[in-house]
Structure 1
Amino acid sequence: MAKIENIHDSFFKKVFSDIANVRTFLEIALPAELRRQLDLSSLELDATSYVSEEYKASLSDVVVKCAARDKQKPVDVYLLFEHKSYPDKKIFIQLLRYMYLMWQQDSAEVKPLRAIIPLVFYHGKGNWKIPTQFAEQFEVGKELRRFLLNFEYLLFDANQWDWQAEASLPLKENVFLLSALLLMKGAYRKDLETIRQVVRLWNKMGLIEKKDQVNFLLIYIAETQDIPAKQLLKILEESELKGEDIMPTLAQRWKQEGIEEGIKKGIEQGIEQGIEKGIEKGFILDKQDVLIMLLLTRFGLEEEEKAVIRSIESVDKLNTALKMVLTAETGTEIIDYLNSESA
């Protein structure tokens, strides 16, 4: 399997592949007047079978459909989600391509063209300054502009989102989605306070019992925040959580195996060199432990599969395997990757 190139895209798609998460998100993201016109209880994920081989690499992140509330003109409305972690001036062309492919399928099947509402989810470093109407891309006067193709996308800017505002109240019933949105909001800055808030939410709302979801969120934290494992463990302990039950830590490994082994060898080869080697060994053992724990939680593991993981001493390969846990359908995919000769 190819390496995961973008942790943010993978995280977003995994979170929004759950229709309950999509429904809760739309309750806070859609303008009130639009929300009143849609029956979100009828929401379902679209299979996106209309996408050709040519465009699979640039497939929109999520497509859902729901019924409009207009009883006189019953129709399905499609919502097209596009995730962005940086301001992308090509957004209009990308959205237009996706909508064209959907309409192309409608035309081929001799169906009325579907109603499509694009929604851009943004959580990057800079401000999103791109206009929301396509016609604004053209430097022409009003008289000419009215003849041009135009559409508008909805923008959810996580940087401007206030999770404690009254409009965000529906998220209180979905602490996993709330945690995911907060972590994406803070993904591009070292935001220890947000992580503390998220961990406190896990404890308060009972998510800590759902270790599969907690481990998934912890992987994202580890991949996007430059936080040492010991500091993350401290945050977990501050919230009265047993960090060792959630994730093996570097600190524990250094004490139990890494530094002990390093000091022992250091007596023979030099204290400084021995401790350095012990820490390196402890780092690898920690990666192996976390991978074993996550695979056990998600898929289960045979003893021989554990042995495969223990045989891997490449940090890069272990890191890639940890990322693959986000999107893998089976544990076998990850074990096969570890058994391969790929770096």
Structure 2
Amino acid sequence: MSMEHHPHDVFFRSFFSHPDTMQALLQLLRYKQMVWQKDDGPLTPILPILFYHGPDGRISERFSQLFHPETPEHLRPQQVEFQAILYNLSSVHKDRLTAEKNLEFQAALLSLKYARDNMDLMIDELYRLARTGGTVFLSSKRFALVKLYLLHASSLTYDEIEQKIHTRITDPVIREDIMPSTAQMLKQEGRQEGRQEGRLETVHETVVRMLAEDIALDVIARVTGMTIEQIEAIRQQNDQTDQNQS
């Protein structure tokens, strides 16, 4: 969850990758409830922003669209309602994304847009960002999450991605800097066959870190191998810990 607080407004950002936006809108509703429960005075308006990065499809922006269209008229006043601000990455031109000054955020947006079906272009963009940002960019924790997402969002195998990196990245220093860290990361996240029990703690930490970066629950599930229910339980436990510390 990401939040910016001002005297009269709160902004939430959430990312999702499936045309069925029910889980994303429900997640935003939970965020709203969490903030409002902490308000001592009048409630603060909350502006939810959804970043969509999935295939083309009908995307619900209003919470009321989740209810059955034939809901009786006399029950409609009982429906929860809010409208999210939709930012559809699938229809945004690449030039708008590469104009982002923060290189890590630029890498994240590009990976959301291209990881599933255009790995060649994605690798070319990473090469450009690596040459621009250097060691600071390549060693950043957020870029590590981007690489982790690429490995699991793509339909390609790790060997296929590795071959593309070898082919498209001509600078041997950058190429070798990216690839060993990627392979090491796979091992650290416990994705190898016969995962050892001691690695579960690392997976738990990964879930917490990805939740903090607003990564969609279905993406976290694919990356970590956990179910949506397990991830929700970790999120609730983490929220409770934050509330106890505040």
Is the shorter-chain TM-score for this pair beyond 0.5, marking a shared fold? Answer: yes
CA distance in 2, matches of 1:328, 1:64: 16
Q: How many residues align?
A: 196
Quick one: distance in 2 between partners of 1:113 and 1:238? 55
Q: 1:117 offset after TM fit, Å? A: 0.8
Partner of 1:112: 42
The answer to whether residue 120 in structure 2 is matched with residue 192 in structure 1 is yes
TM-score relative to the length of structure 2: 0.61
SS in 1 for 2:115: coil
Counterpart in the other structure of 1:177: 105
Structure-2 residue corresponding to 1:64: 3
Q: CA deviation at 1:178?
A: 0.7
Q: CA deviation at 1:112?
A: 1.2
Counterpart of 1:221 in structure 2: which amino acid? L
2:97 paired with 1:219: no
- Kindly state the Cα deviation for residue 78 of structure 1 after the two structures are TM-superposed: 1.1
Cα distance in structure 1, aligned partners of 2:204 and 2:35? 30
Structure 1, gaps ≥5 residues long: 1-61, 68-74, 250-285, 296-311, 330-343
Contact 2:20 2:60 (C-alpha < 8 Å) held by counterparts: no
- Offset at residue 119 of structure 1 (A): 1.4
Kindly indicate whether the alpha-carbon contact (under 8 Å) linking 2:130 and 2:174 is maintained by their aligned counterparts in 1: no
Aligned residue among 61, 76, 100 for 2:33: 100
| 1:341 aligned residue | none
Contact 1:64–1:80 (CA under 8 A) maintained in structure 2: yes
Distance verdict in 2 for CA 1:177–1:328, change over 3 Å: same
Report the AA paired with residue 113 of structure 1: L
Q: CA deviation at 1:181?
A: 0.9
Q: Could you tell me whether the CA contact under 8 Å between 1:212 and 1:294 is conserved in 2?
A: no
Evaluate the alpha carbon distance shift between residue 210 and residue 97 of structure 1 in structure 2; reply closer, same or farther with a 3 A threshold: closer
Matched residue, 1:317: 195
Unaligned runs of 5+ in 2: 210-246
Identity level (%): 21
Mapped contact 1:65–1:76 kept (Cα < 8 A): no
Q: Deviations over 1:241-283 (max 9, x none)?
A: 442244339xxxxxxxxxxxxxxxxxxxxxxxxxxxxxxxxxx
Are positions 1:88 and 2:15 aligned together? no
CA contact (8 A) 2:138 2:178 kept: yes
Which residue of structure 1 aligns with residue 235 of structure 2?
none
Q: Residue 66 of structure 1 contacts residue 78 of structure 1 at CA under 8 Å; is this kept in 2?
A: yes
The alpha carbon displacement at 1:231 in A equals 0.9
2:141 is aligned with 1:202: no
Q: Which residue of 2 aligns with 1:7?
A: none
1:293, 1:132 → 2: CA distance?
38
Aligned counterparts of 2:186 and 2:59: Cα–Cα separation in 1: 44
Distance 2:94 2:104 in 1: 13
Distance 1:194 1:209, change over 3 A: same
Query: CA distance change for structure 1 residues 181 and 97 in 2, over 3 Å: closer, same or farther?
Result: same
Structure with greater contact order relative to length (CA < 8 Å, sep ≥ 6): 2
The superposition leaves residues 167-194 of structure 1 with CA deviations (integer Å, 9 ceiling, x where unpaired) of x5750x2111111111111232252122
Counterparts of 1:211 and 1:146, CA distance in 2: 51
Structure whose CA Rg is larger: 1
Q: Distance in 1 between matches of 2:165 and 2:205?
A: 21
Q: TM-score, normalised by structure 1?
A: 0.46
Q: Give the secondary-structure state (helix, strand or coil) at the position aligned to 1:81.
A: strand
Q: Is the 8 A contact 1:87 1:130 kept in 2?
A: yes
